[in-house]
């Protein structure tokens, strides 16, 4: 039987399912779907149904990942794991995450309707929380599956003061059983993730898809500067201990430090001011710092430099500084043999092969602990992501599906 994908027009069908998932949202006029919410359970139920229609056994694991398995020619064989995430940021785009899940199901469905079994099993996973939007802890689902879940995060609370453990119990999960979601390296031959690029490179190069070479390393800091609140009209400018003014200086220092480190990026995306009144000198400012670089060493240098400038600015302005590392991921190179397969599949579809790095984090970074990883990027309109205007053309979704199907068909015969 040919290893080529059957000539199915998958693009429109993929978009229809993306639209169905986008309708499951906590906000009526946009897309917000966070971890441990009724929306998560509704999305999981819909995806579970699609997996079963595609010939898989499927269900939710102990943390809420949706996992489906299409058995290989020999029951109990190692599996190729395909997937991405089903959660979103606030006021999100609909393609970030679900495209990888829906496309993987479409590829398994093509195998199933052709009556074809591979030498390996195929598993598809829809991770329950990659973004970390609700509790500020990212990649919860993939960490649980990889056996790396830190139970300390269960005490984290959301904006309403609800702890992660409480939220899980409210939607029917037992936080004490998260360990049961863990899988083992001997179960998997590879992990493959198809994802929108979330950047402009493929569009600039006029290419529908690309091959990811590596995922950038990243660190996140939570910073609190504390000064002294006072009346805006009576506290003289000299000697003020204005926490927000100090934070503003740090924001610019983060930008300068990232510019000085080739290939690095630095972002302050969230800032909260206390007491937050028009006529009060801010006494406290709490903000995030997101630092990324293609390799671990420059990212570590950047983190060190940012810590130094925070300490220097705080001391000069009479502020106290608290800096906590809240997230850290090393760079994750994609496996050479998977990059080769992805490149060959792209070329067979008639497109130039472009390898590019991923500046965004992905569940693949965590899955590297279980299996060799590979990633396919799909072009998104104007490079937009984490934005309601996020868009993928049907034709590009089709190319992505055909590339993933080709890889899947050839993977069992590919040696590392």
pLDDT at position 1 over 60 = no
- Strand ranges, E, within 178-302: 188-196, 209-215, 217-226, 230-231, 265-267, 271-274, 280-281, 284-293
For residue range 223-275, list pLDDT tens digits in order: 999 999 999 999 999 999 999 999 999 999 999 999 999 889 999 999 999 99
Q: Is the pLDDT of residue 415 over 80?
A: no
Joined together, the tokens standing for residue 357 give 């790095």
User: What span, in angstroms and rounded, lies between the C-alpha atoms of 398 and 15?
Assistant: 10
The Cα 253–Cα 68 span in angstroms is 47
Alpha carbon distance 155, 166 (integer Å)? 9
What 3-state class would DSSP assign to 288? strand
Is the pLDDT at 3 greater than 80? The verdict is no
Instruction: Give percent above pLDDT 90 in the chain.
Output: 90
Q: What is the pLDDT of residue 150?
A: 94
Residue pair 400/190 in contact (Cβ under 8 Å)? The answer is: no
> pLDDT tens digit string along 90-127?
999 999 999 999 999 999 999 999 999 999 999 999 99
Contact 217, 292 (CB under 8 A): yes
Q: Cα separation of 355 and 190, whole Å?
A: 19
- Computed over every residue of the chain, the mean pLDDT equals 94
Give the tokens for residue 201: 């490179």
* pLDDT reported for residue 10: 81
Residues facing 284 on adjacent strands: 226, 274
Q: Judge contact between 286 and 244, C-beta under 8 A.
A: no
pLDDT for res 136 = 87
Higher-confidence residue: 414 or 198? Answer: 198
Nearest partner of 283 among 243, 317, 231, judged by Cα = 243
Predicted confidence band at 412 (pLDDT cuts at 50, 70, 90)?
Answer: low
The percentage of residues in the chain with a pLDDT greater than 70, rounded to a whole number, is 97
Does 6 score more than 60 pLDDT? no
pLDDT(416) > 70: no
Nearest one of 319, 326, 327 to 224, comparing CA atoms: 319
Residue spans of alpha helices (H) in 91-145: 98-113, 140-145
Over the stretch 150-201, which tens digit does the pLDDT of each residue have? 999 999 999 999 999 999 999 999 999 999 999 999 999 999 999 999 999 9
pLDDT of residue 85: 98
Domains and CATH numbers, the chain: 10-215+331-413 (3.40.630.10), 217-329 (3.30.70.360)
């Amino acid at each position: 039987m040919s290893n080529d994908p059957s000539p199915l027009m998958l693009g429109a069908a993929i978009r229809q399912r993306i639209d169905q998932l986008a309708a499951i949202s906590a906000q009526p006029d946009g897309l917000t779907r966070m971890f441990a919410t009724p929306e998560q359970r509704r999305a999981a139920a819909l995806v579970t149904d699609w997996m079963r229609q595609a010939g898989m056994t499927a269900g939710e694991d102990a943390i809420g990942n949706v996992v489906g398995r299409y058995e290989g020619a020999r029951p109990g064989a190692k599996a190729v794991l395909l997937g991405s995430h089903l959660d979103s940021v606030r006021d999100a785009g609909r393609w970030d995450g679900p495209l990888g899940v829906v496309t993987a199901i479409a590829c398994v469905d093509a195998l199933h309707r052709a009556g074809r079994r591979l030498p390996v099993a195929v598993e598809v996973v829809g991770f329950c929380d990659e973004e970390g939007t609700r509790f500020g802890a990212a990649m919860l689902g993939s960490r649980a599956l990889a056996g790396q879940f830190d139970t300390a995060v269960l005490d984290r609370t959301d904006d309403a003061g609800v702890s992660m453990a409480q939220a899980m119990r409210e939607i029917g999960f037992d936080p004490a059983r998260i360990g049961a979601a863990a899988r083992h390296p001997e179960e998997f031959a590879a992990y493959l993730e198809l994802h929108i690029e979330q950047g402009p490179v493929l569009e600039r190069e006029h290419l529908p898809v690309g091959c990811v070479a590596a995922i950038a390393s990243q660190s996140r800091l939570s910073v609190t500067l504390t000064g002294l609140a006072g009346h805006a009209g009576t506290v003289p400018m000299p000697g003020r201990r204005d926490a927000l003014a100090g934070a503003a200086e740090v924001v610019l220092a983060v930008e300068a430090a990232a510019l000085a480190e080739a290939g690095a990026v630095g972002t302050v995306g969230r800032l909260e001011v206390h007491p937050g009144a028009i006529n009060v000198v801010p006494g406290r400012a709490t903000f995030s710092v997101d630092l990324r670089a293609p390799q671990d060493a420059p990212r570590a240098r950047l983190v060190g430099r940012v810590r130094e400038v925070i300490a220097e600015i705080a001391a000069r302005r009479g502020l106290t500084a608290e800096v906590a590392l809240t997230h850290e991921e090393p760079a994750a190179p994609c496996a050479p043999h998977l990059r080769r397969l992805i490149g060959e599949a792209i070329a067979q579809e008639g497109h130039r092969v472009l390898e590019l790095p991923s500046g965004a984090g992905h569940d693949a970074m965590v899955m590297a602990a279980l299996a060799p990883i590979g990633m396919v990027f799909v072009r998104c309109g104007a490079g937009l992501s984490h934005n309601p205007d996020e868009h993928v053309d049907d034709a590009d979704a089709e190319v992505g599906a055909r590339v993933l199907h080709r890889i899947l068909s050839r993977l069992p015969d590919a040696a590392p």
